[in-house]
Structure formats: structure tokens, C-alpha cells
Structure 1
Amino acid sequence: MISEGRYKNQKAIIVENENLSMSFLPDTGANLASVVLKEENFEFMVQRPEREYRRVEFGGDYVEAECSGMDDMFPTIDRCYYERFPWSGTELADHGEVWNLAADVNVKGDDRVDFTFHGVRLPYVFHKNVSIIEKNTVRIDYSAENNTDFEMDFLWAGHTMLQAEPGTRVIVPEDCTCAQAVFTDSGRIGAYGEEFDYPVYRDKDGSLRDMSVMGERQKDSEKYYLKYPLTEGMCGIERTNGRSFTYRFPADRVPYLGLLQNFGGFREMYNMFLEPCTSPFDRPDVARLMKKNCVIPPRSAYDWYLEITVR
């Protein structure tokens, strides 16, 4: 069932059945603000305590906004400048554009809603179509259109802030054995780009550490990417109470995975970030340098999907 509702002081599109309820915010990127398993009224997404949803103007810093739920980072993660003709020198906004744009909304029957966004600083059209496909699964079909005569560099990442606690398990394909650091408050995983074994590696102090299990609360947060393209498009978490949140996606279209473990270093929250993505390292130009970039061909589109299963 698709209905209109409210999330804090924002308009929401509610996608639900007898098992689950998901709240999308059409005026703010169609961000997925809430995922509730109805049986226990169990919320998977990070929720901020304020009564009003915190927003910033277009081009503002993401960390000054709500910082919760799941949003789409497109066409970049970090603020940067587009590198190639004909948009060379164009500033790309922090966290991308889509997360902070209003959508055109088209509800199709009682089980599908389409959100459409039009680029501001790059001339793309971004589609996000949501449908219920099973009792515990919602699918989001994505398409990014480039209606120009030039290649368009981009990256997309599904920025997902999940509630967690010490002992929460991080689920990735079994053949993922190497990761690369992006940032760390403590320095435990090394400098930017430094490689380390995954999931078990030897820490800077010489002790073994299992990254697949969330550790104790401390003033630290760590972001890293699994180094090699995924052979299976999946990731998720399993909470200590047995509840699980799982993504499935096409590995040939979304080949990389970013992970951010926040033990309390960011906003004194404790949570897990999942970021399936088309390119790693947070910027299209850096991804190009590493030969891991993604482009939309001229007069074409790039399509992918996410399936979200909660149990």
C-alpha cells in the first residue's frame, strides 16, 4: 500500500504491507527516513531525537542536516570540482545533489511510487522507483539519464545509517579479503588509501581485530572500502537480537562497497553505515585516477537497483 503521511514536520510517502513500513521524504531526496518491522515496531534506521527534521539549503554541508536514515549520494560524495569538458570546473555539492532536492512524485497503484529529480549543476535526470516485491522486501529501481552529447562522470552510493550495538555483525560476501582506508579518527586502520586484511587484520598495536563484528563504544569512527569489485552484490547487518537488514544489488552495476563503523566518534552516535556504490573513494575524479570510475554515455542511461530485506 502507498499512502501519504508525515515524518516529523516533513511530508512522507509511506510504502507498507502487513510486515513492514518505509517512509520516504519527497521534498528531501526521497530519503528513506524510517524502516519499521511492524511485528515488534522495530526501527532499523538511525533516528535523530529532535522533533523537527533538520534541513540545509542546496549546496550546504550534509553534516549540518538531519544525518539519519538512507539517502542517495549522486553524482559525488565529497565536495569537489568536475574534471572534464564540458563541465570542467563546475563545483559538485557536498554529499551530491539528489539527497537535498525535491522530487516529482508519481504514485502508480497501491504498490509502486516513482520519484524523479532534475540535476542542478550537471544536466542529468535521476529516477528512483520504489515497489514492494515480497512480504519483507522492497525494491528500488534507479536510472540516471544523460541527455547530452558528452560522457558524464558520476558516482552513486546508497548512504545508509543503521542502528547498531556492540556485537552487531557486518555481512559481506565471503571472498572479500582486502580493504582500503578512507579515514579513521584513531589511525587504527592506517592512512588514506592504505590497505589492510579484511575482516581480520593486525591492528597498529599488534593485536588481531575482527572488523565484521562491531566493537565497544569509544571516540572513534572508521571508513574504508573493500578493495576489489564485488563478485556478489550483497551486504547487510545482523543485530544481536537476531534482526537483520540486507541489501541485494547487481554487482556488475554496483561493484563496490564502502563501510563506516561509527563507535561514537561522529556526533556521539553509535551506528553502522553501509554504502554500496558504483565507484569508490568518494569523488569521481579520484575514482578515475584509480581506474574505478563510472560514466553515463552520451544520450544514454545507467540503471541499477537495490532490494531491501528486513527480518
Structure 2
Amino acid sequence: MTNWMQSDIEGRRAWTGGTDELSVTVVPELGAKAVSLLNRKTGREWLWSSGKPLGNRGFGSAFGDSDECGWDEMFPGIRACEYPEDPWRGEPVPDHGEAWTLAWSAAADERGLTCAVNGKRFPYALEKRYSFPDAHTLRIDYTAINHSAHPFSFLWAAHPLMRASEGMRLRVPDGLNEIEVAYSAQERLGGFGDKRPWPVAAQGIDLSVIEPDNGRSAEKYYFTGTLKEGWAELSDPSTGEAVEFRFPAEQVPYLAVWANYGGYDDHYHIAIEPATGRMDDLSYAMGRGEAATIAPGGRYAWHLELSVR
């Protein structure tokens, strides 16, 4: 059993739980975002901070106008768009979704820390429960519930902004050898929807190796097709440390990467983003049959495990 302790961070209530090897700190008021993922054995903080004060500008605001740090949940969309089907046709889906700007409830018990929120424009509930199945692993169990009498389609992606350093390595399952570009600063990898090989996308661009902070490059891409295995790893050869994500490919069939080497807001970080749909735009994903859907009155459950060494 993990003891969850409450504290104040910049005047906001936070919850911290962990083991002798790993801890996480969550701020429920700010979309139940994680602001710390700490390897207690080495002292390494994996989550990146922008240095801005914690907070956002409220529901529907742009992610770039927020603290832009830590680990947010993107749900029920990622890129701002409009829901394409009745009965919510034309309803705006905010930038990075709804959940990250809403205040969540939080309660700790013998099962872990449970955070929950209800949708604002759409009739869903989203819940996540943090627990530690072993000393070096954090598990998050997610459940999305559709409170309406109509099918509800959504995108979810984890958005853990990790501290980057030159030479770190990104490892993904064998057989993933092509990506599709969702965003590329100055179109270094091409425009939206362009495809490139993985890991060497072009001459001099090896996407599996973290680049230096060059002030120019920033990319978001998805691996094409659905996953057969749900995992990815970010490692630091200079220290031997690594963080590995594992998730069920049946419920979370896609994998994306956000790599920002100074080309967006002068930030330097990387995010491994397991996802239930592809290419960020919910309307686009629904049109391609690449969004998850919850039946009327139904629920959609998945989990994510994160291990450190």
C-alpha cells in the first residue's frame, strides 16, 4: 500500500505518492497533471518544467498560454477542431482537449489515488487511478464513460513532457519503420500527412537519437498503422537510466512522439505519447476510422504503466 501525502505547490493542493525508487506528484486543480516523476534512487527528475508559474487561462484556452510543463491528459481531442457528427456537430473541441484545463476531484484509499472529472461540452466522465504495482513502476488505470444516448468518439493521448539531453535514445517495437507527420517546424520532415521512414527520416536526421537544443527543430509524428506491441522507451546512455511506457495495444493502438529541440517556444523536451487515435485532429481521425468510440451509456478502459531504472 502506498501512502499519499498532500502538500501545497504554488498555492495549489498536490498529492505525492511513491515507493523507495519512484514517486509522482499530481495537482488535481490543474487537470490532474503530474508535475514530478522522480527516480528516488538517482535523484533524476524526468518531467520537464518551463519555469513558468503553474496554471492555465481556463477552459478552452490554448496550451501555449499555460505553464506548458509536466504531464497533462489530452482528451477528448488534441488539436482544436469541431466535432463532426450529430448530436454534437459543430461543437468546438479545444486545443489539447477539455480535461487539461478542468479541475478534477481527487481521493486516496488502499487502491491508490483516484482523480475524476466530468466533461463540459460533451457528456463524458474521465477517471484515472494511480498505483504502484512494484517499487519501480507507476500504473495509471483510465476509464472514460459516455453518459449520453449516442456513440461518442474521442482521442486520448498522454502528454508527458520529459527532460531531454543530447544523445538520449528512443526505442520502439520492432516493425515500426514509418511515420506520418502531424507537425514539423519549417516542414523539416514535410507537411501534415507526409510519410517518412523510421528511424532515419532524412539525411542527417535520426529520430531515435535526441538532438541538441538547436533552436529550430520541433516535430510531432505518429507511427503508421496500429501497434502489435504497446511499449516505448527513452534512455540515457550517459547514465544508464531509462523510462519505459507499457500499455495495451488493443485499447491504445497508436504511438506518437513530440520532439521539441528549441523550434517551438524555445523549449527543449520530448514526449512519448501512447494514443487511442491518430493525427491529433478528432474530426480527421473520425473520418479515417482512427478514433476510439464509446457506445451509448458505455465505457472505455485502458491503462499505462511507466517503469524507471
What TM-score does the superposition give when structure 2 sets the normalisation length? 0.95
- 1:224 is displaced (CA, Å) by 0.7
Corresponding position of 1:137: 137
Q: Rate the CA distance shift 1:9–1:40 in 2: closer, same or farther, 3 A.
A: farther
C-alpha root-mean-square deviation of aligned residues, in Å? 1.3
Q: Distance in 2 between matches of 1:21 and 1:216?
A: 28
Q: CA deviation at 1:278?
A: 0.3
Q: Which residue of structure 2 lines up, in the alignment, with residue 160 of structure 1?
A: 160
CA distance in 1, matches of 2:131, 2:179: 33
- 8 Å CA contact retained: 2:50, 2:267: no
Matched, 1:217 2:213: yes
In structure 2, the residue matched to 1:296 is: 294
Unpaired segments of 5 or more residues in structure 1?
Answer: none
Deviations 1:114-164 (A, max 9, x none): 111001000001111111111010110000000221000111000110001
Deviation at 1:105, TM superposition (A): 1.6
Q: Match of 2:228?
A: 231
Counterpart-to-counterpart distance in 2, 1:76 and 1:273:
17
Please say which of residues 9-18 and 22-31 is displaced more in the overlay.
9-18
- Name the SS for the 1:186 alignment partner: helix
**Maintained 8 Å contact 2:232/2:245:** yes
Contact 1:9-1:53 at 8 Å conserved across structures:
no
Deviation at 1:59, TM superposition (A): 0.8
Match for 1:246 among 227, 244, 253? 244
- 1:108-187 paired onto structure 2 within 5 Å: 108-109=109-110, 112-187=112-187
Conserved 8 A contact 1:7-1:23: no
Return the offset for 1:208: 4.7
Q: Distance between the aligned counterparts of 2:91 and 2:32, measured in 1?
A: 25
2:200 maps to what in 1? 200
CA contact 2:77–2:281 (8 Å) conserved in 1: yes
Measure how far apart 1:83 and its partner are: 1.0
**For 1:310 and 1:250, how far apart are their aligned partners in 2?**
19
1:238-291 Cα offsets, whole Å, 9 max, x none, are 023221111100001001011111111122121111111000111221012222
- Output the CA distance in 2 between the equivalents of 1:161 and 1:57: 20
Identity of aligned residues (%): 30
* 3-state SS in 1 of match to 2:280: coil
**Structure 1 stretch displaced more, 3-12 or 158-167:** 3-12
Distance 1:42 1:8, change over 3 A: farther
The equivalences for 1:259-298 within 5 A come to 259-298=257-296
What letter is aligned with 2:92? E
**Distance in 2 between the 1:66 and 1:302 partners?**
30
Q: CA deviation at 1:171?
A: 1.6
Contact 1:220 1:263 in 2 (8 A): yes
- The answer on 1:60 being equivalent to 2:61 is yes
Q: Give distance in 2, aligned partners of 1:11 and 1:236.
A: 31
Offset, 1:40 = 2.6
TM-score, length-scaled by structure 1:
0.95
* Higher mean C-alpha deviation, range 152-161 or range 234-243: 234-243
Q: Which amino acid aligns with 1:117?
A: V
